[in-house]
Amino acid sequence: METRVVIDSKFDFGNVVATTALYNHCKMHKFSLLPYLVRHANCDWGDVCKSDWESNDKAVKEGLRILSEYKLPDGKRIWIITEWDRSATTLLFPEDY
């Protein structure tokens, strides 16, 4: 089932997808991924280090790959990666990479 949500973003997302493992985890624990996607859209890169934060800021301007990291309520980490060509944004566990 496809769901469409409009998010005001500072850059294009392309197609937004999540790995099966992350999707199933969030469904089982009733976690929404939307707040993390909104943070990513607004250039809040979450728990990345300072140099990665600066790289992401540069990537938005120069069309490079963007990587955010956040913690779910149960402490598990997730990544959100927007590809350099803005064709896709993927939500995943780091171990899914």
How does pLDDT run across 27-85, given as a tens digit for each residue? 999 999 999 999 999 999 999 999 999 999 999 999 999 999 999 999 999 999 999 99
State residue 3's pLDDT score. Answer: 67
pTM of the model: 0.91
β-strand partners of 16: 89
State residue 7's pLDDT score. Answer: 76
Residue 5 CB contacts under 8 Å (≥ 6 apart), including other chains: 34
β-strand partners of 90: 17, 81
pLDDT tens sequence across 14-24:
999 999 999 99
Helix, strand, coil in percent for the chain, rounding step 5: 35, 25, 40
